[in-house]
A and B are shown apart, each in its own frame.
Chain A
């Protein structure tokens, strides 16, 4: 089983009130979580990215954690306080250039002795583009064309110092990039940084099947996970790849308790903290598309249909079909007698594994055995101690079951993931 740690980030999963909650930005928080993950023999530590602060109703969305550092810089510093843990940075292929990013990632791989990974994301909106020279808008298909060309160009640069140790000039010409010249770094310790990809669309699945070493998904039920797993692994042969060459790792949350009832109770408490009264109304407004601030979060849902407004929420995933969502929410609310806040809690639940340490270890093991996942990216809800309990109480059980390593076998992230080092290009002659 492969495990990774997600730093609690910018969304309403992260609980920031009460005690014990620490800084989202001080280096000590990153260090604590990374060291805990390494103590648990995790494969890697994962940082998300933000390129523009989210907005709601034309104003900065102020209800959730916001503010985060630049990922590669934090990971470079974490390389100094960890020895084996992989260090994964989410970086947009839309608002960067291949030469510069390939160089920064290769540097991270050198600085960490072969532990770097890049989570390739794409960005579609001109809203985010307002912070960049690149600016502008790319439609979905073009985003992936650019991303694929970006990764291919980066790999050509990483391969441009063959075994004889002499840089070869790269000459790439494509629809999105023209890159000519010598790369400034020799081949990095694990050959190439590991490529991670997130995204569940058909384009995203194909891109991952063609390109990625790890895919980060959101499928947290067994059946959905199995469907996704079979689909993505089934796409690999068309790209000349075998099933083990791409690891599927859903992002999951967890809540532990001394008994099942205790865990359920804690989960319910956490959900209420994640969905504050104010957050419940924001969730409602994102579906209905209009100002609902006069509504009582403890009262009933609106009785009119949504008025879709694509400008209402900027910088987050859009609701696909607002009318369908509204119908579903109203039906649920009526059937169970739920208030606005209770309905949002019920429908936006994201807790994947809730139970005693033994039950959680059992369920996680079953997921992997049933081919619903190769492992998990754990998303704690507290900074920076959100993994402490998991590592102290669940990790030993996974180790006892023999599904999780007790010591790192190798040094590089590729070795943790069981991925071969990319073939070295031939030297001169």
Chain B
């Protein structure tokens, strides 16, 4: 028998740091940075790929991206993936904030693309009415698109510091994006140089029909809420097919089943390992995004109970093979679209 049978297909694990809304983050801990640092370090001990933190303008809680930026210097490997909504924000600011999260975490940033559907959120801004999901997701896709273009708008080697000519940058390696969407336009280039990962990892919940096309077009990681492996497997196949139809390599899209979990005892933790093993064996998904009932308790059970079982069964890594979130996910660093175009057209 082989000594290193470890999985041919790596299993990816992600964990939501925010509990259900009913626990409401009303407690002090929701605003205490050390609470998030403790959880993220625990997830890192379990060699999880990334943690997510949800966000909304209309329910109690702090700005998710800022919270994970606060966590970044206190962690070393775990991917940090805040939700950032696209409906009432400036796409230029979203792009630079996510880019900066990648700089401060040295290549561990992701971004869960979200929309703001409610009238309550619209009233907080007073600029536009609530809109149907289809329109908001179409716009979210445009925001994801322009954000990625802005990340590419500095080529990796744009900063030249050439003392002889006095040039700090080579302006030929900076690019106007000249993006025109249905509700906004952006001239570019970004003010923030291309981040360590080239492009931070884009995550989208692809459960709903309105969001699925955006996920297929723009996401590196798609989350699918499913109650059984068949449903998850169908969603994965559908996402891969859509990605292929859009000209993408489907192997560059990770589809994670997003499951609610509640781990009361070590038996539950082992049961979860069984379930993960079964779904993974069925090819239902590339991994799991776990949404806890109680983040603190459930993450501890996951890391101390489920993870060792999965490692013992050779389904999960025992150490991080790389430093960046893209490396955890087995996703290559994207080539810069403008650099490629510049090299083709002399």
Contact = CB atoms under 8 A, between A and B. Distances in A.
A96 B57 contact: no
A16 B123 contact: no
Given A26-B103, A27-B103, A100 B125 contact: yes
A194 B66 CA distance: 18
Contact of B104 (A73, A103, A185, A186): A73
Given A53-B191, A100-B89, A186-B31, A63 B166 contact: yes
Taking residues whose C-beta sits less than 8 angstroms from the other chain, chain A's interface range is 35 or more
Given A52-B187, A79-B33, A184-B59, A132 B90 contact: yes
**Most A-side CB within 10 Å, residue of B97, B106, B121, B124:** B124
Contact of A67 (B60, B62, B104, B154): B154
Contacts of A99: 57, 88, 124-125
Interface string A3-32: 000000000000011100000011100010
A69 B192 contact: yes
B312 interface: no
Interface stretch (B71-79, B210-218, B238-246, B286-294): B71-79
Contacts, number: 181
A278 to B, nearest CB: 4
B168 A111 contact: no
Interface in A59-115: 59-60, 62-70, 72-74, 76-77, 79-81, 95-97, 99-100, 103-104, 106-108, 110-111
B100 interface: yes
Contact of B168 (A25, A66, A81): A66
A69 B103 contact: yes
Interface in B94-152: 96-97, 99-101, 103-106, 120-121, 123-127
Nearest to B176: A60
Taking residues whose C-beta sits less than 8 angstroms from the other chain, chain B's interface range is 35 or more
Interface in A131-181: 131-135, 167, 177-181
Contact of B191 (A51, A111, A185): A51
Interface in B44-74: 56-63, 65-67, 69-74
A76 B99 contact: no
A70 B97 contact: yes
Contacts of B169: 60, 62, 66-67
Nearest to A69: B100
A245 interface: no
Contact of A100 (B57, B100, B105, B154): B57
A206 interface: no
What secondary structure prevails in chain A residues at the interface with B? Answer: loop
A300 interface: no
A74 B101 CA distance: 8
Contact of B189 (A16, A53, A68): A53
B91 interface: yes
Contact of B62 (A95, A107, A134): A107
A26 B103 CA distance: 6
B125 A279 contact: no
A62 B57 contact: no
A73 B63 CA distance: 10
Given A79-B70, A80-B33, A80-B70, A62 B88 contact: no
Nearest to A26: B103
A63 B124 CA distance: 42
Contact of A74 (B90, B100, B120, B187): B100
Interface stretch (B157-165, B266-274, B318-326, B337-345): B157-165
A277 B161 CA distance: 15
A68 B120 contact: no
B203 to A, nearest CB: 18
Nearest to A130: B187
B66 A59 contact: no
A132 B99 CA distance: 17
Given A17-B163, A52-B191, A179 B104 contact: no
A130 to B, nearest CB: 4
B72 A80 contact: yes
Contact of B120 (A130, A131, A181, A186): A181
Given A60-B171, A73-B65, A107-B63, A180 B124 contact: yes
A29 to B, nearest CB: 10
| Among all A-B residue pairs, the 9 with the closest Cβ atoms | A178-B126, A278-B166, A76-B69, A77-B104, A130-B187, A73-B100, A69-B100, A107-B63, A70-B96
Given A63-B166, A63-B167, A76-B67, 7 more contacts: A51-B92, A67-B154, A74-B103, A103-B63, A104-B63, A104-B66, A184-B60
Interface of A: 16-18, 25-27, 31, 50-53, 59-60, 62-70, 72-74, 76-77, 79-81, 95-97, 99-100, 103-104, 106-108, 110-111, 130-135, 167, 177-182, 184-186, 276-279
7 contacts: A62-B168, A62-B169, A67-B169, A67-B193, A96-B90, A104-B66, A186-B31
